Amino acid sequence: MGSFLRVTKQYLPHVARLCLISTFLEDGIRMWFQWSEQRDYIDTTWNCGYLLASSFVFLNLLGQLTGCVLVLSRNFVQYACFGLFGIIALQTIAYSILWDLKFLMRNLALGGGLLLLLAESRSEGKSMFAGVPTMRESSPKQYMQLGGRVLLVLMFMTLLHLDASFFSIVQNIVGTALMILVAVGFKTKLAALTLVVWLFAINVYFNAFWTIPVYKPMHDFLKYDFFQTMSVIGGLLLVVALGPGGVSMDEKKKEW
């Protein structure tokens, strides 16, 4: 594990950030190519009129693409993260995700990835919390990392299967154990890397949108799912690259 991190130390954060913003990038581009469909959907659902529906699509397009450019260029990353948080909240309400537990948990997991990105940017640049008294140095960052880890785990709860087949039982037990390790911050980097491999394999197998013709609705559904999962993978890669933070069992072990 140590040798893997030494070799990938330079590249891992960049790969993590690219994966993390991939769902926003894909969705922003989709807003451009499906402008009229998205506008009509919002107008029909909320009966808000042509102008408001168009404004919603434009805000999604501009907000997501601008946020992606800022994150990748490492400029105003904290503001980009807050903007993308806003997009997640807006979409959760506009697309009625609030009432769909699976999609809500995935959106929360996406928010967890952004929290980790916010924590990473905070350690690089000037703190947004300068002047705020803390119990110890980097305290807000530690709690962001804790919140990010816990929210990322929600993604895996949507992948648990309730059937009684041997494979599903084993997958559920191993997956749950890894989720708990990441959430409490024990053997965090190894557990997160294992979840990355597992999630990537599941993603490629179940969300292979490239095998479905573009004109079929399932193509868009799988594509959305695929890139949202890639974003959660990006969040986990940030955990691998940066570690669990101060509020974790791994950190407490050093004190013992």
The residue type at 122: R
Closest CA to 79 of 116, 47, 137, 121: 121
As a three-state string, the secondary structure of the chain is CHHHHHHHCCCHHHHHHHHHHHHHHHHHHHHHHCHHHHHHHHHHHHCCCHHHHHHHHHHHHHHHHHHHHHHHHCCCHHHHHHHHHHHHHHHHHHCCHHHCHHHHHHHHHHHHHHHHHHHHHHHHCCCCCCCCCCCCCCHHHHHHHHHHHHHHHHHHHCCCCCCCCHHHHHHHHHHHHHHHHHHHCCCHHHHHHHHHHHHHHHHHHHCCHHHCCCCCHHHHHHHHHHHHHHHHHHHHHHHHHHCCCCCCHHHHHHHC
Closest CA to 28 of 72, 109, 84: 84
Mean pLDDT of successive 10-residue segments in the chain (256 residues)? 70 92 95 95 93 96 97 94 96 88 90 93 58 52 90 84 78 87 90 92 92 93 92 92 82 66
22 half-sphere exposure, CB direction, 13 A CA radius:
20
pLDDT at 255: 61
pTM (predicted TM-score) = 0.86
- CA–CA distance, 61 with 49 (Å, rounded to integer): 19
pLDDT at 254: 66
pLDDT at 133: 44
The 10 Å Cβ neighbour count of residue 15 is 15
